[in-house]
Amino acid sequence: MSMRLTETLGLLSRARAFAIEGERYVTEQKAFVKSLERRGRDAANALEYLEALEGLQAEYVDHMEKLERQVLMLVRPRDD
């Protein structure tokens, strides 16, 4: 296995962990927003934070998908 492939697989593993953790944070924040709204509380700040988390999550997923494509390119046989 090439060093570049090994490094990319390591980065992909970390990116997947970030995406999983990020999804958990988004899910928890959504539940918190719903809880505030059910109790008639102001959820504006919680919604802003949720939007920020969702933006970060989208970046994590985009980066993970980019690394997945790089891995595929590195393992794909060349047509030399």
pLDDT value of residue 80: 60
3-state secondary structure at position 77: coil
Residue 9 in any domain: the answer is: yes
Helix (H) or strand (E) holding 43: none
pLDDT value of residue 39: 98
What's the pLDDT band for 1 if we cut at 50, 70, 90?
Answer: low
Residue 78 in any domain: the answer is: no
Residue 45 in any domain: the answer is: yes
Residue 50 in any domain: the answer is: yes
Q: How many domains does the chain have?
A: 1
pLDDT value of residue 69: 95
pLDDT tens digits for 10-57? 999 999 999 999 999 999 999 999 999 999 999 999 999 999 999 999
Residue 80 in any domain: the answer is: no
Cβ contacts of 11 within 8 Å, gap of 6 or more: 67
**Backbone dihedral angles phi then psi of residue 77, each to the nearest 5 degrees:** -65, 145
Residue 60 in any domain: the answer is: yes
Smallest CA-to-CA distance from 19 within 75, 58, 68 is with 58
Q: What is the span of the domain harbouring residue 19?
A: 3-73
